[in-house]
Amino acid sequence: MKKIFKTKIIRDINIASREIIEGNVIALPTETVYGLGANALDENAVINIFETKKRPRFNPLIVHVKGIEEFEKYARDIPDEAYKLAEKFSPGPITYVLKKKKIIPDIVTSGNDTVGLRIPAHKMFMEILSRTNVPVSAPSANRFGKISPTSAQDVYSELSGKIKYILDGGRCSVGIESTVLSFTGGEVRILRRGAVTGKQIENTIGKISEKSSGKILSPGQLSSHYSPVTPLYIVNDFNDIKSQNGKKTGILDFSKYKSAKEIALNLFSDLRKLDNMKFDIIVCKKVSSRGLGAAINERLVKASQQDF
Ligand code: TXA
Ligand code: MG
């Protein structure tokens, strides 16, 4: 029978580290979104992550490590571009998809011969990595397909009863997930847009390939994702909504924010707030696709219904 926990929000890194060492699953803060972490080298612990968030086993997990010097422990044939980017952006919100070494269990990578490595820029998470001395696999700490959590309270509303502890590291400073980059096949490709923009990456290593279409390389490319319970629609003009008479409509309004960075910071928490307000529908407009805007729009499209 599945265990039911009385979920506690804690600030004690000793408890969090102990939980990781004992093979348990615990929610942890990162700079992007909260993760649901466990020892990546412990198969049972990793299985527990998939079960807790009801994530399909074909969707691989990111492995968090404490520094660039760890890459060689878990990955092989690492190209110079990965090191160049890691030197510039680590710790920080890039995930490096590299050829994996055998030490990483297949369950982590869904049987793929690659592993996604990331060095998180959060003091508490880093402290846990150095105390436990194990790599920590952690997907976002939401139920599968739902909105990523950016505070301990958000995790609580997603997973209360399903995990024992949530380590509270405050509000995430970035608000959207890491950029996922693939370094296999002799080229660098963006698999998921995220907190580091394509331009920042190209400024460091030169021209990179656009996302490939067709075959799903990263299940994060699955179209349904980040979904509120209330249907979300993208409109060109908020006046269009007037025609939806009778429907209680929530507006996800970004006009109050001064930059794409600020929109990213508030995107998931604003969406979550509106989702809790019992509207019939929520509407939003796409943002300018410059800079972080492309990553924001990618999330809006995945969170929304196709037709208005
Ligand atoms: O910012 C983040 O990346 C957060 C924090 C917790 O680190 N994590 C996160 O994990 O967003 P998750 O599992 O929600 O999304 C990871 C994405 C998924 O789209 C997954 O398919 C992709 O990374 N991914 C992981 N390993 C991969 C691999 N070996 N090959 C291709 N895609 C991979
Ligand atoms: Mg996720």
Q: Which of 227, 64, 221, 218 is nearest to 143 (CA)?
A: 227
Q: Which residue has the higher pLDDT, 210 or 40?
A: 40
Ligand 1 touching residue 114 (CB < 6 A): yes
Cβ atoms within 10 A of the Cβ of 235, count? Answer: 16
Give pLDDT tens digits for 22-36.
Answer: 999 999 999 999 999
In whole angstroms, give the CA distance from residue 109 to residue 14.
Answer: 28
Provide the percentage of residues in the chain whose pLDDT is more than 90. 88
Q: What token pair was written down for 51?
A: 């079960």
Q: Which of 133, 301, 110 is nearest to 223 (CA)?
A: 301
In whole angstroms, give the CA distance from residue 277 to residue 283.
Answer: 13
Indicate which residue's Cα is closest to atom 15 of ligand 1: 139
The alpha carbon of 177 and the centre of ligand 1 are apart by a number of angstroms equal to: 8
Considering only 1-15, 80-94, 222-236, 279-293, which range has the smallest mean pLDDT? 222-236
The pLDDT of residue 305: 78
Long-range contacts of 205-211 (CB under 8 A, 24+ apart): 205/81, 205/84, 205/85, 208/181
Give the helix/strand (H/E) hosting 98: strand 94-100
Give pLDDT tens digits for 245-285.
Answer: 688 999 999 999 999 999 999 999 999 999 999 999 999 99
How far, in Å, are 12, 22, 27, 222 from residue 17 at the CA level? 9, 9, 11, 33
The pLDDT of residue 189: 96
In whole angstroms, give the CA distance from residue 16 to residue 226.
Answer: 27
Considering only 19-28, 144-153, 220-229, 274-283, which range has the smallest mean pLDDT? 220-229
Atom of ligand 1 nearest to the CA of 176: 1
Burial 46-83 (b: 16+ CB within 10 A, else e): bebbbebbebeeeebbbbbbbebebbeebbeebbebbb
The pLDDT of residue 307: 55
Ligand 1 touching residue 62 (CB < 6 A): yes
182: phi then psi, degrees, rounded to nearest 5: -100, 135
CB neighbours of 80 closer than 8 A, spacing ≥ 6?
none
Atom of ligand 1 nearest to the CA of 195: 1
> 């499209």: which residue's tokens?
301
Quick one: pLDDT band at residue 213, thresholds 50, 70, 90? very low
Cβ atoms within 10 A of the Cβ of 143, count? Answer: 14
Quick one: pLDDT band at residue 214, thresholds 50, 70, 90? very low
Ligand 1 touching residue 116 (CB < 6 A): yes
Atom of ligand 1 nearest to the CA of 32: 1
The pLDDT of residue 34: 98
Ligand 1 touching residue 59 (CB < 6 A): yes
Quick one: pLDDT band at residue 10, thresholds 50, 70, 90? very high
Ligand 1 touching residue 138 (CB < 6 A): yes
- Asked if pLDDT for residue 226 goes beyond 60, the answer is yes
Write down the pTM of the prediction. Answer: 0.95
Indicate which residue's Cα is closest to atom 29 of ligand 1: 115
How many helices (H) and strands (E) would you count in the chain? 10, 14
